[in-house]
Structure 1
């Protein structure tokens, strides 16, 4: 049985937002100090940044593709509140907001200033706020349309609830690991020596290049391994949940 454009729209959005977007956001938040063996950079940039950019690029493409598919399916018309379910209408509003935020993120990424620019903080905060907005809106957007599909509601809602619960657990555990990692006290002598070296080299006020910098502290490696394992587990678990979700959408 051939898939409808609506089903393909749902499938593409689930893959783009639940799998790639969530993993990309978590990698940007918790994967900055992770190293793969002795490799700290890939093609001149930090490994975490390349992974983050790759995952979010795929997510952006799939999100825009999903929007195009449903736009074609509806003949370019927005959901009508008078004839549509209120949940489907709100879903369309949230979905449109996600698409707009995605386009803003693409624009910000393409025209971001240099990491050492004094205006970099504008990009950093706008990038975080827009990305977090998308990440938060994904939950009610998918939940509303899952609840509106009465035929599959008994299956879709629990499946998506499992994904939400998994996200909460992963974030809490990663935040705990991040806190423990940051609480590692660097010996005072090393701190003084580093500060003196920076002062001698005239680097006290130089901004760090976050796109190429990686952690070099050996004491952090155990926590880095834990974070990497959790991030990989998240990717695998999210794939399983998304596949089950898609099976019900396309059935």
Structure 2
């Protein structure tokens, strides 16, 4: 609920993010450092959760006849998610160079595996709430709010991404029009036109960058605010 969405969102929408004038953190781009840290933590806690379940269940598998079909489905989906998470880690460790001719294979495999793991995790969490004996309505309410919020934040980021691209395209068209006018009139306005385009792009880029940082910060706060009561409800099951 916290680490996976952050890692996915910043990889999809935050590649040009900067804090102030800084676009790098500890020698690498900010988006990549956050992406790697968030999804490494997601894989780590996923594996830890799997081991805790094995200990609790004394290494016995769910029986579809005695434990029910829902819990059995949860166990199968959970194992798939663990496998996807571990596959992501190994692919990242042995990925080819960004300029390699087979890099596109890694990129698509990395994206597909990551999206599958995240998408499957949502019904997996929902399913187990039907098996927990108490606070069912609370679980469903929290997870429904979180799912709705993820959809909202993706739509908001898509809007910002579209606005940024549209602004860059408009600035480019504006520059080309001015350049054509310069060529026709043979008046030296090239430097002024180029400077105006750069200034417009920087202004719009700063607005979009700030909006993305604010939206990402709100997402972190909302995710934590929803994850804490969920953990409390799970803890109270015992």
TM-score, structure 2 length as denominator? Answer: 0.84
Q: Partners in 2 of 1:170 and 1:229 — Cα distance?
A: 11
Partner of 1:227: 212
Structure 2 counterpart of 1:7: none
Going by fraction, where is helix more abundant, 1 or 2? Answer: 2
| Local SS of the residue matching 2:33 | helix
| C-alpha displacement of 1:223 | 0.9
Structure 2 gaps of 5+ residues are: 177-200
CA distance in 2, matches of 1:165, 1:171: 10
Is 1:246 aligned to 2:231, yes or no? yes
Query: Which position in structure 1 is the counterpart of 2:198?
Result: none
CA distance in 2 between counterparts of 1:113 and 1:189 reads 40
Partner of 2:19: 36
Aligned-residue offset at 1:188: 5.2
Alignment correspondent of 2:114 = 131
User: Which residue of the partner structure matches residue 8 of structure 1?
Assistant: none
Q: Find 2:31's aligned residue among 45, 48, 52.
A: 48
**Alignment equivalent of 1:96, drawn from 60, 63, 79:** 79
Tell me the SS of whatever aligns to 2:213: helix
**2:70 corresponds to 1:87:** yes
- SS at the partner of 1:37? coil
Query: Is 1:150 paired with 2:133?
Result: yes
Output the CA distance in 1 between the equivalents of 2:52 and 2:9: 28
Map of 1:207 onto structure 2: none
- Distance in 1, matches of 2:121 and 2:83, equals 13
Q: Which residue of 1 aligns with 2:185?
A: none
Larger Rg: 2
Q: How many residues are treated as equivalent by the alignment?
A: 209
Q: Does residue 1:117 correspond to 2:114, yes or no?
A: no
Q: CA RMSD in A?
A: 1.5
From 36, 51, 64, the equivalent of 1:68 is 51
2:155 to 167, 172, 177: 172
Shift of 1:180: 1.3
Segment of structure 1 superposing worse, 179-188 or 19-28: 179-188
TM-score (norm 1): 0.80
SS of equivalent residue, structure 1 residue 150: coil
Aligned to 2:66, the other structure's residue is in SS state coil
Correspondence for 2:146: 163
Distance 2:144 2:216 in 1: 19
How far 1:189 sits from its partner (Å)?
A: 8.8
